Amino acid sequence: MSFTANRIVLASRPRGAPTAANFRFEQFSLPEARSGEVVLQVLYLSLDPYMRGRMDEGPSYAAAVGVGDPMPGQTVARVIRSQDTRFAPGDFVAAMTGWVSHAVVRGETLRKLDPARAPLTSALGVLGMPGLTAYVGLHDIGQPRAGETLVVSAATGAVGSVVTQLGKRSGLHVVGIAGGPEKCRHATEVLGADACIDHRGPHLRERLAEACPRGIDIYFENVGGAALRAVLPLMNQNGRIAVCGLIAWYDLGKLGAGTADGPDHLPAAWRHILVKRLTVRGFIVSDHFDRFPTFLKEVAPLVRDGQIRYRETIAEGLERAPDAFLAMLKGGNLGKQLVRLTADPIPGAD
């Protein structure tokens, strides 16, 4: 018996900043599950900055979403029917269903979740892709040594909040960069950063220099833009930059075609890299999924004990996903941005 489900598709490609008009809510007929397939009801959808990149055409590490196709995304879902012996109705799983209310997927693409071990939503944030990104970027790329100074931008977001806390646990002097006084207070009072600089305020570079009296050894780069321009002159010799994301520039398009206005900062940036012998390394978390078991073994107990804390910003209803996504891109979220798709009680959440 097939039934009608909901989804959000890419209605058109954005020019510059995306708007609600780039998305369309529609209904579709869910196919029957065949052998090896599982029918899922989506409970939570993860909203992530990488989805902005998928809305544009052009070369990248993953294919663009087609116009008219569902937006991609990771979800936590409940199995409602199964043609795969490894899954039974009522099981909870992490899946790549996209922005949909229901999906039929192959069993081997799913990861079973136990709500008794960790809250289900943590699989999309602190104990999921963003947490692993923080772990790999800080430890494998950043190579921290106790006593060094770490700066992390988007410090209270899904990735940055874990970087900040892991940085403190590695004995670093940690300085966050975040948007607004409330987020900066959260970075210092809840996440344990030694200082946090509001990038919306004036004199970013001067305030950052004051907070980093011994210079910067590691920069965990989440944003680009003004934060990067403030950080580069403060980098120490042999410093490391883990290039994780460039959210301040995502609306310029994949080839940076919109950068023509204003001064060309590239010569100064390149000179800092040369003169200070910086190691600048971009990384994509999907190349590091082999680190997931080590990450979980180390970080899951810390989350369980409350030694690593996390926040979530949760929108209600699939139809709210575009607005929540657009808000997240502009800093509307504290911690991980999620959408809850059902009003029914969810174990481990209600």
Ligand X SMILES: NC(=O)c1ccc[n+]([C@@H]2O[C@H](COP(=O)([O-])OP(=O)(O)OC[C@H]3O[C@@H](n4cnc5c(N)ncnc54)[C@H](OP(=O)(O)O)[C@@H]3O)[C@@H](O)[C@H]2O)c1
Which H or E run contains 196?
strand 195-198
Spatial contact of 208 and 197, defined as CB atoms under 8 Å apart: yes
| Binding to ligand X, residues 243-262 (CB under 6 A) | 244-245, 247-248
Nearest-approach distance from CB 286 to ligand X, in angstroms = 7
- Nearest in space to 80 (alpha carbons), one of 130, 5, 141, 12: 5
When asked if residue 160 is in the footprint of ligand X (CB under 6 A), the reply is yes
Figure out which of the listed residues 69, 284, 304, 347 binds ligand X, where binding follows CB under 6 A: 284
When asked if residue 331 is in the footprint of ligand X (CB under 6 A), the reply is yes
When asked if residue 41 is in the footprint of ligand X (CB under 6 A), the reply is no
Structure-block tokens of residue 287? 């190349």
Within 212-265, residue ranges assigned H as helices are 225-231
When asked if residue 107 is in the footprint of ligand X (CB under 6 A), the reply is no
When asked if residue 178 is in the footprint of ligand X (CB under 6 A), the reply is yes
Q: How would you class 90 by CB atoms within 10 Å of its CB: exposed for 0-12, middle for 13-18, buried for 19 or more?
A: exposed
What would the DSSP string read from start to end of 22-81?
GEEEEEEEPPPP-TTEEEEEEEEEE--THHHHHTS-S-SSSPPPPTTSBPP--EEEEEEE
* Residue whose CB is less far from ligand X, 111 or 117: 111
When asked if residue 328 is in the footprint of ligand X (CB under 6 A), the reply is yes
Rounded to 5 degrees, φ, ψ at 232 are: -55, -45
The one-letter amino acid code at 140 reads D
Figure out which of the listed residues 251, 252, 283, 348 binds ligand X, where binding follows CB under 6 A: 283
| Binding to ligand X, residues 125-154 (CB under 6 A) | 130, 133, 154
When asked if residue 18 is in the footprint of ligand X (CB under 6 A), the reply is no
When asked if residue 312 is in the footprint of ligand X (CB under 6 A), the reply is no
Nearest-approach distance from CB 36 to ligand X, in angstroms = 29
* Residue whose CB is less far from ligand X, 163 or 318: 163
CA angle 49, 216, 221 (to 5 degrees): 10
Q: Which stretch binds ligand X (CB under 6 A): 2-10, 86-94, 165-173, 242-250?
A: 242-250
When asked if residue 183 is in the footprint of ligand X (CB under 6 A), the reply is yes
When asked if residue 98 is in the footprint of ligand X (CB under 6 A), the reply is no
How many residues line the site for ligand X (CB under 6 A)?
Answer: 29
